[in-house]
Amino acid sequence: MKVIQTCYKNEKKTTAEHHTHFGPDLSNQETDIINLYPSEVFQELLGFGGAFTESAGFVLSKVSEETQNKLIEDYFGKDGLGYTLGRCPVDSCDFSLGNYSAITAGTPDDLSGFTLERDDMYIFPTIEKATAVASSMKLILSPWSPPAYMKSNGEKNNGGQLLPEYRSTWAKYLCKYMRAYINKGYDIYALSVQNEPNAVQRWDSCLYTPMQESDFVRDFLSVEMKRSGLEDVKIMIWDHNKERLFDRTDTICSDAVNREVVGAVGFHWYSGDHFEAIELVRRKYPDKDLIFTEGCIEYSKFSADSQLINAQMYAHEIIGSLNAGMNAFIDWNLYLDEKGGPNHVDNLCDAPIMIDYRQGKLIYNLSYDYIGHFSKYIKPGAQRIGMSRFTDKIEVTAFKNPDASITAVLLNRTKKAYSCFIRLNGQLSNVRASGESITTLIISADEWGVKK
The 3-class secondary structure across the chain, one letter per residue, is CEEEEEEEECCEEEEEEEECCCEECCCCCCCCEEEEEEEEEEEECCEEEEECCHHHHHHHHCCCHHHHHHHHHHHHCCCCCCCCEEEEEECCCCCCCCCCCCCCCCCCCCCCCCCCHHHHHHHHHHHHHHHHHCCCCEEEEEECCCCHHHECCCCCECCCEECHHHHHHHHHHHHHHHHHHHHCCCEEEEEECCCCCCCCCCCECCECCHHHHHHHHHHHHHHHHHHCCCCCCEEEEEEEEHHHHHHHHHHHHCCHHHHHHEEEEEEECCCCCCHHHHHHHHHHCCCCEEEEEECCCECCCCCCCCHHHHHHHHHHHHHHHHHHCCCEEEEEECEEECCCCCCCCCCCECCCEEEECCCCEEEECHHHHHHHHHHCCCCCCCEEEEEEECCCCEEEEEEECCCCCEEEEEEECCCCCEEEEEEECCEEEEEEECCCEEEEEEECCHHHCCCC
Query: For the chain, how big is the Rg over CA atoms in Å?
Result: 22
Mean pLDDT, all residues of the chain: 97
Domain total in the chain: 2
If asked whether residues 39 and 66 sit together in one domain, one would say no
Domain that holds residue 295: 46-377
Among candidates 439, 420, 430, 409, which has minimal Cα distance to 22? 430
What pLDDT score was predicted for residue 451?
Answer: 59
Last residue of a domain, which of 377, 403, 419?
Answer: 377
Specify which residues 408 forms β-bridges with. 398, 441
The average pLDDT across 186-199 equals 98
What pLDDT score was predicted for residue 305?
Answer: 87
pLDDT at 407 over 90: yes
Percentage of the residues of the chain whose pLDDT score is greater than 90: 97
Among candidates 221, 219, 251, 256, which has minimal Cα distance to 238? 251
pLDDT band with cut points at 50, 70 and 90 for residue 384: very high
Last residue of a domain, which of 377, 392, 416?
Answer: 377
298 neighbors 268 (Cβ within 8 angstroms): no
If asked whether residues 181 and 313 sit together in one domain, one would say yes
- Phi first, then psi: what are they for 336, rounded to 5°? -140, 170
If asked whether residues 311 and 410 sit together in one domain, one would say no
pLDDT at 308 over 80: yes
If asked whether residues 6 and 101 sit together in one domain, one would say no
pLDDT tens-digit series, residues 314-333: 999 999 999 999 999 999 99
If asked whether residues 222 and 255 sit together in one domain, one would say yes
CA dihedral sign, ordered 367, 51, 69, 377: positive
The average pLDDT across 335-350 equals 98
What pLDDT score was predicted for residue 18?
Answer: 97
CATH of the domain at 401: 2.60.40.1180
What pLDDT score was predicted for residue 300?
Answer: 92
The average pLDDT across 185-212 equals 98
pLDDT band with cut points at 50, 70 and 90 for residue 193: very high
What pLDDT score was predicted for residue 304?
Answer: 86
The average pLDDT across 436-447 equals 97
If asked whether residues 402 and 327 sit together in one domain, one would say no
If asked whether residues 147 and 220 sit together in one domain, one would say yes
Distance CA(287)–CA(235), nearest Å, equals 13
If asked whether residues 290 and 406 sit together in one domain, one would say no
Distance CA(221)–CA(168), nearest Å, equals 8
If asked whether residues 320 and 431 sit together in one domain, one would say no
pTM of the predicted structure, to 2 decimals: 0.98
The average pLDDT across 140-156 equals 98
pLDDT at 417 over 70: yes
If asked whether residues 343 and 398 sit together in one domain, one would say no
pLDDT tens-digit series, residues 80-115: 999 999 999 999 999 999 999 999 999 999 999 999
CATH of the domain at 124: 3.20.20.80
pLDDT at 347 over 60: yes
If asked whether residues 155 and 289 sit together in one domain, one would say yes
pLDDT at 452 over 60: no
pLDDT at 171 over 80: yes
Last residue of a domain, which of 377, 404, 434?
Answer: 377
Sequence-ordered list of residues with C-beta below 8 angstroms from that of 396, at least 6 positions apart, any chain:
34, 319, 387, 389, 408, 409, 410, 411
What pLDDT score was predicted for residue 253?
Answer: 98
If asked whether residues 128 and 212 sit together in one domain, one would say yes
What pLDDT score was predicted for residue 234?
Answer: 98
Distance CA(336)–CA(62), nearest Å, equals 11
